Amino acid sequence: MKRIFIISLLLPLIFVGCGKKTEEEIAVELQGISLNKKSLSMDIGETARLMVVYNPEEAEKFAPEVTWESTVPGVATVKDGKVTAKQKGKTTITAYCGKYYADCEVEVEVPKINPDPTPDPQINFVVTPTTIETPASGGEYTVTVTSDTPWKAECEKSWATISESAGEGDASITVKVEPTEVEEETAQRIVFSAGRGKYYVVIKRKGKINKITLDQTSIDVPVSGGTFTVKVTSENESWDATCADKNVTITKSGHTATIKVAATTNTIYSEATSQTAKVTFTDGALKATLDLVKECPYAYLDGTDTYFTQKNMSPHTYTLKLKTNIPWALSLTYDTSMYDWPGNKYEYSVTDFVTVSPQSGSGDKTLTVVVTPRYPKQDSPFAYGRAHLYVSGTGKWADTEKRQLAVFEFEY
């Protein structure tokens, strides 16, 4: 009981001690904050650093963590005090520290670039190239100076730097362009001063693309296949394209995908139909898809029955409209399994009873079928049975399984 009583007396003292501020903390207690800049005027693509100023200065050591906010993130974003201008407009950047806060008004403008130089005719000065175009990821580029006089150079914006800012004559300058996070294109100049002249190299940096886009999202592929090109817009050229269909091959060059689709040679369908193969384009986490709508082989009789019967010995002519999208050939078989007598089974070709023309062709065609039930042999019974009309592919489609088009039944 004594131990419990002593601990209960000590616990309030421990917690009170933990909550007390030290004498140093009390002496430099935070009285407020401000920012090193109350306003910023920026061009799209520029970055700027805002710093928190503590009152008193020594209070920074004990101050709460600072959080940042932009009232219009679409105009400018802020992270740990770094402001990135994204598009034309106005926003307010606010820093919060405990119960205190401070604002900075930011206005973003579209950069104005005047590429026209003002050369000095008294000197020889040439700079090449006069325009540098970079992707959003930036990079390093070379500018060549040809001069017979001293010169100076400087970049207008901080997102590009040069290896030499002055020279006495010819020089080769390395220009380093930083990557950007904004979606708008940004631009600036390298300004060269030589004699009384001004010369410029314009740097155009593309905006960062936050998606991968295609110039088309669906391609109709004929049954014979073909080769197609797709323009790809992405952040860089490291994108890739894949397709699970083994009949589709893809090659890429720069921002162009060349897609080769082999002929569709699967089953002959009984109606016009298609199959869709998906091509997936990726660039890191970005993704886009393209549908290849492939026409399938088909063959059918249009606007008519497919089963015909007749019960007399007179020839009968049938006119049939074949609808198909492939080269084709027709064949006939004679089915007498229902009428099992020797004189009517296997002894005669089906063409003794049924003829069809034309027997081959390509694409749609009108077919003429003549059915003549007759005595196949003088001492045989009347002709009975069924003739089956089949279509099969030729050429590329020679291996497709034949498909039945019609049945002709005759008996007396």
Q: What is the pLDDT of residues 244-298, one digit of tens each?
A: 999 999 999 989 999 999 999 989 999 999 999 999 999 888 899 999 999 999 9
Within a 10 A sphere around the Cβ of 313, how many other Cβ atoms?
13
How distant, in Å, are the alpha carbons of 30, 46, 142, 152, 234 from that of 137? 42, 15, 17, 27, 12
More confident residue, 12 or 102: 102
Q: Which of 42-51, 65-74, 340-349 has the highest average model confidence (pLDDT)?
A: 65-74
**Backbone dihedral region for residue 395 (phi beyond 0: left; psi -120 to 50: alpha; all else: beta):** left
Q: Is the predicted pLDDT of residue 303 greater than 60, yes or no?
A: yes
- Residue 144 to residue 201: CA distance in whole angstroms: 11
Q: Which of 207-221, 286-300, 382-396 has the highest average model confidence (pLDDT)?
A: 286-300
- Residue 34 to residue 32: CA distance in whole angstroms: 7
Residue 14: the pLDDT is 41
Label each residue of 161-214 as H, E or C: EECCCEECCCEEEEEEECCCCCCCCEEEEEEEEECCEEEEEEEEECCCCCCCEE
We find that the CATH architecture of domain 213-295 is Sandwich (2.60)
What SS3 state is found at 282? strand
Grade residue 182 by pLDDT with cuts at 50, 70 and 90: confident
Which ranges in the chain are annotated with CATH 2.60.40.10?
A: 125-205, 299-410
Which ranges in the chain are annotated with CATH 2.60.40.1080?
A: 30-109, 213-295
- Residue 46 to residue 83: CA distance in whole angstroms: 8
CB-hemisphere CA count at 13 Å for 234?
23
Cα angle for residues 226, 229, 235 (degrees, 5° grid): 150
Asked whether the beta carbons of 332 and 385 are under 8 A apart, the reply is no
Which is it for strands 286-295 and 218-221: parallel, antiparallel or unpaired? parallel
Topology (CATH level 3) of domain 299-410: Immunoglobulin-like (2.60.40)
More confident residue, 16 or 130: 130
- Residue 96 to residue 381: CA distance in whole angstroms: 107
Q: Mean pLDDT throughout 165-192?
A: 92
Residue 337: the pLDDT is 55
CA-nearest of 105, 81, 111, 109 to 91 is 105
* Preceding peptide of 121 cis, ω within 30°: no
We find that the CATH architecture of domain 125-205 is Sandwich (2.60)
Asked whether the beta carbons of 404 and 386 are under 8 A apart, the reply is no
What SS3 state is found at 5? helix
Topology (CATH level 3) of domain 30-109: Immunoglobulin-like (2.60.40)
Rounded to two decimals, the pTM is 0.53
Strand locations in 80-148, DSSP E? 82-85, 89-97, 100-109, 125-128, 131-134, 139-147
